[in-house]
Structure 1
Amino acid sequence: MTDEAWPRRALLSRRLAGQTPSMDAHGLHFCHRTSRTALDILHRRLHFAAPDDLRPQLALDMLVAAFHCALDRWTNRPATPTRGDLTTDMRDAFAALPGSLTLAADLRTP
């Protein structure tokens, strides 16, 4: 990410993947494999109360989902977004995680 041209290349890559289902699927599959590897590492290095405890996987999946939300927001910014914009979008997405777990809404009336 230190290369000055990185934001433009990353943006074009994300937009191309968004328009190319096979690229998008490959990216999602890679993300899933990476997440499962990270989860395996967590289980090797940390002692959880029960081996079938869903919370570590859910926590990791929420972080990945927040990253994807931030990346979507970053990709849809006008012009060419910067690395700083991505940092801002990631911070906003991660900060929204706790509130998303307790989100309540009223039904709209027609």
Structure 2
Amino acid sequence: MGYKKGKNGEFAAIIFVLAQFVAVWGVAAVGVNSLVALNILWIPKFGIAGAAWASTVSYTISFLGSLFFYCRLSGNRWMKVLLPQRSDWAVYWHTEMVLGRWAKAKLRVLL
């Protein structure tokens, strides 16, 4: 997604940034409000298990809302965001090699 440059382009850019801001804070507000409401409902009835379930449900709501707005604003499909892509494996492999070398160097110092 983008915006036009020119006289009206600055206004469009401001609106685009404000929409992102509202989306992020809206998802956060829904997550916090659902956590408080579910805690009020479930803690008296289920105790600590109710608190755990309330946290799980509210974090899931926040995750799904964040995923929805990210996909809408970025243009990425949700399957591409959630599942590792072929190009990701090269990054994982390189990270594993770097961490392996680092761990080997630390073990040499310790031993």
Same fold per superposition (TM over 0.5): no
When Rg is computed on C-alpha atoms for both structures, the one with the higher figure is 2
Higher helix share: 2
Give me the TM-score of the superposition, normalised by structure 1. 0.39
Using structure 2 for the length normalisation, give the TM-score: 0.39
Higher relative contact order (CA 8 A, sep 6+): 1
